[in-house]
Amino acid sequence: MSNLSNSYYSVYRIENKMTMVDPEMPSPRYHNTIFIETWEDGYKSGRTCHVVGDLVTGMTYNTRVDQDPELDEMFFAKHFLGFLKAKDYPDRLNEILEVLPPPPKQKSFNPKSMRTEQHKSPGVFYEVGEERPPMVKCTEWTINQAIPALIEAGILMKGG
């Protein structure tokens, strides 16, 4: 196994290229996930934890057993985060990540402009020139919410 001992799993942040890029988001952008390397379904396999969806419908938490992320044709980068206690996999891991608010619906069709635009809330659009907060997608959920929550819960021990 590729873990520190039989009681820990290696954890990575994975960046995958995106098939469709949102022109309103700063580029380059990658789909960010958390990958726990457990070898449960073969060499370097494990579990992918991430949010899926888009800014028009909103996002939801998703987890799945997955193959080595470096084999994915959309793979871009792999960043070592640390170690996950095996006793916390997968139940405690999912318990923590499932309660984090996923990125909500942040864009909808504006009949006035006949375009899909960022909104304050569905049906309430920003005026021209009005300051808009940055939109939140998988990257922000993974880096700003999920990873800190796992560290704070004490199940992800940061690596060197």
Tokens 């793979």, residue? 75
Could you tell me where the beta strands, DSSP code E, fall in the chain?
Answer: 8-16, 31-37, 46-54, 58-66, 75-85, 107-110, 115-121, 124-125, 156-158
Q: How far apart are CA 158 and CA 92, in angstroms?
A: 17
Residue 6 confidence (pLDDT): 61
Task: Specify the pLDDT at position 19.
Answer: 85
Least Cα distance to 156 among 105, 99, 90, 81 occurs for 81
Tell me which range, 5-19, 20-34, 116-130, 143-157, is most confidently predicted by mean pLDDT. 143-157
Predicted confidence (pLDDT) at residue 5 exceeds the cutoff of 60: no
Query: Model pTM?
Result: 0.91
Q: Which of 40-44, 59-63, 142-146 has the lowest mean pLDDT?
A: 40-44
Query: Does the pLDDT at position 4 exceed 80?
Result: no
Q: Is the pLDDT of residue 110 over 70?
A: yes
Query: Over the chain, what is the mean pLDDT?
Result: 93
Owner of token pair 């170690």: 83
55 burial type by CB count under 10 A (0-12 exposed, 13-18 middle, 19+ buried) = buried
**pLDDT at 133 (0 to 100):** 94
